[in-house]
A and B are shown apart, each in its own frame.
Chain A
Amino acid sequence: MSAMMQRDLCFKILARHVRDEIIVPVYQAAQEWHGVAPEHALTYYSIGAMGQASSCALGLALARPDRRVVVLDGDGSLLMNLGTLVTIASQSPRNLLHFVCENGMYEANGGHPIPGRGEVDFAAMARAAGYRRADTIATLADFETKIPGILTEQGPVFITLKLVAGPPPSQDYAFIHGAPTRATFKTALGPR
């Protein structure tokens, strides 16, 4: 399935549909999401240790089953923590939706190709690990059509987003790494 989507355009569609979901974006996806939806206070930026976004999301999903948790993972990041697929599947959180942005490269580290670029089928791995459903989306039209249903679907659900390079996102490390951002998230999350 060939890639036809730019990540920023994908996220703009996603931003139009999210309400009170917790979004867990990683690295360049985090920068992109911040640029697209800076007002979404329920964003748990997963940066600092590569590969950990889905594990952070699992912790949130288990601790707050009343909230839906949406991971915006990277392909290089997921490869650093593949066991997470099995852990998530075994816990089977109904409120967890796992996107992986497949652009085939370590975007934040020089654009080098990931191992298995173009050959690895992430959705197939998630399906084999035991996710309730896994799919691959390669066009914006398909994404636009499917996203309302995906956001309300019983998890854990895994979706590979086949991406092509778009304009590089602006980099706001001070915001994404900042303690005030984490405090804002906690306040927005509130007590259960």
Chain B
Amino acid sequence: MEGHSGITGEPITGAVILDQIAASGIEFVVSVPDITTSAGLLWPLVEDKRFRLVRVCKEDEGVSICAAMSVCNKRALLLIQYTGFLDSINALRAAGCEYQMPVCIMAGLLQKEPGVKPTQSKSFGIRIVEPILDAMKIPHALLEDRGDERHIRPAIDAAYAQSYPTVLLIGRQM
């Protein structure tokens, strides 16, 4: 999957992300709130009739919920913070990687510096996200600037076509 240029451009907006999520056939959004995406994505999503929001207490619940929904031919997206992704690795390892189920995750990179690649962030937690995904052979893309939304639909379609997880990283607060 194409990486991020590292050049700061016009910020991506929640509205264009929501349109792409809807165009990808996502019906359920499962979420633990993240300040990175709270105002721009999650609050608008609450009112968006295209989706059914399922609030969960902990992110690994969401991994299992999304995986189970895929068996029922329902598409779901797990909207969380990257710390929640780190906390959910075992569930994702089992359901997504070993049992090869499509789990689509959108994770906010809390306090990542705009224009800086995640692997070059000052934040240790952010720096390790992409190497972990690479180790798990999970495709990932960074959504930070306007135009990055082009990654969303192909990533979700590929996850369901190949029955494997995908992770979309939100690179700046919206």
Contacts and interface: CB of A to CB of B under 8 A. Distances in A.
Contacts of B66: 59
Interface in B33-67: 52, 54-58, 60-67
Interface string B84-108: 0000001101110011100000000
Contacts of B68: 44, 55-60, 63
B65 A62 contact: yes
Interface in B1-43: 28
A83 B56 contact: yes
B-side interface size class: 20 to 34
B67 to A, nearest CB: 7
Given A48-B98, A83-B56, A84-B61, A64 B72 contact: yes
Interface residues of A, number: 30
Interface in A23-67: 44, 46-49, 51-52, 55-60, 62-64
A60 B71 contact: yes
A63 B56 contact: no
Contacts of B71: 44, 60, 63, 182, 185-186, 189
A191 B74 CA distance: 10
B64 A52 contact: yes
A189 to B, nearest CB: 7
